[in-house]
Each structure stands twice: as structure tokens, then as C-alpha cells.
Copies of this chain bind each other. A is one copy, B any other.
Amino acid sequence: MSNASRPVARQARGDATRSAILSAAEQVFAEVGYAAARLEDVAQVVGIRRPSIVYYFPGKQQLYDEVEADIFTAMHQFVTERMQGANTPLDRLLGLFDAWLDFLVHRPTAARIIQRVVADPTPRGEDPVQFSDTALRDLEGILASGVAEGSFREVPAVHILNSVAAGALFYVCNANQLGTGRRYDPADPATLASFRAVVHQQAVAVVLK
């Protein structure tokens, strides 16, 4: 390696460490929640020491914020790509719920983190939707277009969020919490397809005129 390439190599190594910290932090926050998570636990998962984390992220709150931002950015991007073929408001609504479900099934740590945010009694910071606002706007935009077009009833978007969208989080998180005879694999194609059918029935029943 030439002297000139050294800073580049160092930069790449730094980026890889930063990524590994974020990924480990998502695991730890999903497992025990923000309040109980410790930077030492994250460091241990990565195989580095606590001060190395502080070099990249000044504290637990900043690390958590980056994790939450990354989850909602990735989810919005996934949803946007998946919905490109959908045109009618109903197709877009079902496409949105499908995309959220698929995203969460393949990133259960994200589901647990969102589930924990909902459980917290007081919104964190000045703006509780600093990271989740894109998801809420995606839903609100589709519902408003359906109402404007005349095919949807006027149902509060928060009701649809709490009733239909909440299901994807429960489906992913509850798999091992319901006892031996009720255990399931959320990623199993047949189980996922049958849950998706339930979500579609719900959505149609609640929004269509």
C-alpha cells in the first residue's frame, strides 16, 4: 500500500467501524430498550471498547437517534421503491401496508424498536415524530388522495395507523411470546401470506366506501 492511499484505507476502516456500531446498537436497543441499553453492551457486540464508540457517537442519545433515523429512512425508501407500480389509492394503501410488513419481517430489530417507542409514556424530545414523520405522511397522503377521489371514507389516519398498521409490528414481535402451541415464524411464506390477507381485509373494510 502506498503512503498516498493510507488516509483512504483509514477512512474506509472508520466507516466500517461506524456501520458495525450502528448495527450492534440496533440489536441492543431492540433487545433491552433505550433506558436499559449501555454503550458497554454495544461495544461488546462489536468487539471494541467503549471509548471507541464515543469517538464516533458522543453519547447514547446520539447513537439511538442515528439508529432510529436509519430505520425510518430505510423504511421510507423501501416503501417508495415497492409502490412505483401502484396507481389507485387502494392499490397504494395495500402496497404501503405490504411494504411495511415485508420491511419489518426482514428487520425485526426495527419492529421491536418502534414497538418500544410506542410503549413510552412521554414523547422524547421536542419532536416525537422527528424520524417517523415520513411514515405517517406516506399513510396520510394516500388516505387523503382516496378521500379526494371519492373512493375512501373519511377515517382519521391515526385510527388506521393504530388499527391496521399496528398489526405488522405485533405480527413480527409476538412470534415467540404466545406460548409453545402458538409459536410461529413471521418469515414463513405461507404464514406471512395468510397474515397479509387479514391485513388487506381489514384495510378494505375500514377505508372503502
Residues of A at the B interface (CB closer than 8 Å) are 30-33, 35-36, 108, 112, 115-123, 127-129, 133, 136, 155-164, 166-167, 169-171, 173-174, 176-179, 182, 184, 194-195, 198-199, 201-202, 204-206
Contacts and interface: CB of A to CB of B under 8 A. Distances in A.
Copies of this chain in the oligomer: 2
Given A36-B35, A166-B170, A198-B206, A177 B115 contact: no
A93 B65 CA distance: 41
A133 to B, nearest CB: 7
Contact of A35 (B33, B133, B157): B33
Contacts of A30: 121
Contacts of A176: 121-123, 128
Ranked 5 nearest A-B pairs via Cβ: A205-B205, A35-B36, A129-B179, A166-B170, A162-B170
Given A162-B195, A204-B205, 11 more contacts: A116-B119, A118-B174, A119-B173, A123-B176, A136-B178, A158-B174, A158-B182, A159-B194, A161-B170, A162-B167, A166-B167
